[in-house]
């Protein structure tokens, strides 16, 4: 798997493009505004065909270019069923520009699998930031795409629409069960590892609450 990443937009969202050089199939994770042109250029450079657009959750800074990327590539959009409404009827939440609606055609479900060529991702339903937040595990490549569930030294906000502190505690406690070597690629900020975040994750699991 070849991985390309760009931080973009007013909230510096991490956009990920994953491709299999052998089959030339690719998928995009969290197509924030502006990423459509960048994705199109990277696909063209490598001769890749985009097969899927994945939204880890429905907040505007992760789905803003869904419709544009879909229009340019024909790739379907995937999200968890509980976040579908947020793609179809996006909530601005202070966005500095309009957020076009997008229509998911693929449902991401707990323990579901996404496979294109050598790319294999397992879906983990990790609510807390939104009801339908998901993380994606690429075991073969030692990667966890954590969306806004887990950051380097922190976690996603639980005070926005769809947020729940209790659900976030459960989701972070679940991530504490993952293997140390997994490299964590979050929706914002720098990458980290499960090993680096383990003390925090285990504290949250043990105490049953988010640290103040």
Per-domain residue ranges of the chain: 2-207
Rounded to whole angstroms, the Cα distance separating 56 from 192 reads: 18
Express each pLDDT in 90-138 by its tens digit: 998 899 999 999 999 999 999 999 999 889 999 999 999 999 999 999 9
Of 115, 95, 100, 212, whose CA–CA distance to 160 is shortest?
95
pLDDT digits 0-9 by tens, 175-212: 999 999 999 999 999 999 999 999 999 999 999 999 98
Residue 143, pLDDT score: 98
Q: Residue holding tokens 């909230």?
A: 11
Rounded to whole angstroms, the Cα distance separating 70 from 51 reads: 10
Q: Model confidence over 24-55: pLDDT tens digits?
A: 999 999 999 999 999 999 999 999 999 999 99
Instruction: Evaluate whether the domain defined by 2-207 bears CATH number 3.60.15.10.
Output: yes
Res 6: pLDDT? 98
Percent of all residues in the chain with a pLDDT value above 90, rounded to a whole number: 97
Q: What global pTM score does this model have?
A: 0.97
Distance CA 88, CA 196 (A): 36
As given in the structure block, the two tokens for residue 179 are 């293997």
Q: How far is CA 177 from CA 91, 117, 151, 207, 211, in A?
A: 33, 28, 16, 16, 19
Which DSSP symbol is given to 118?
T
Sign of the CA dihedral running 176, 178, 62, 58? negative
State how far the alpha carbon of 172 is from the alpha carbons of 6, 81, 102, 120, 128, in Å: 25, 21, 29, 22, 9
């Amino acid at each position: 798997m070849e991985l390309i990443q760009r931080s973009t937009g007013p909230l510096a969202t991490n956009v990920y493009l994953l491709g299999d050089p052998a089959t030339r199939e690719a998928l995009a994770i969290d197509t924030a505004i502006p990423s459509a042109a960048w994705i199109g250029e990277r696909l063209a450079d490598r001769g890749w065909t985009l097969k899927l657009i994945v939204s880890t959750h429905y907040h505007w800074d992760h789905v803003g270019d869904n419709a544009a990327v879909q229009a340019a590539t024909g790739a379907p959009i995937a999200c968890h069923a509980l976040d579908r409404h947020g793609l179809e009827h996006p909530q601005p939440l202070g966005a500095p520009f309009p957020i076009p609606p997008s229509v998911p055609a693929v449902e991401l479900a707990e323990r579901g699998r996404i496979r294109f060529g050598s790319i294999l991702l397992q879906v983990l339903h990790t609510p807390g930031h939104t009801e339908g937040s998901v993380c994606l595990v690429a075991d073969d490549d030692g990667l966890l795409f954590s969306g806004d569930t887990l950051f380097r030294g922190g976690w996603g906000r639980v005070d926005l629409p769809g947020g729940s502190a209790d659900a976030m505690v459960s989701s972070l406690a679940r991530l504490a069960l993952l293997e140390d070597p997994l490299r964590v690629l979050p929706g914002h900020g720098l990458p980290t590892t499960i090993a680096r975040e383990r003390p925090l994750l285990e504290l949250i699991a043990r105490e049953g609450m988010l640290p103040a």
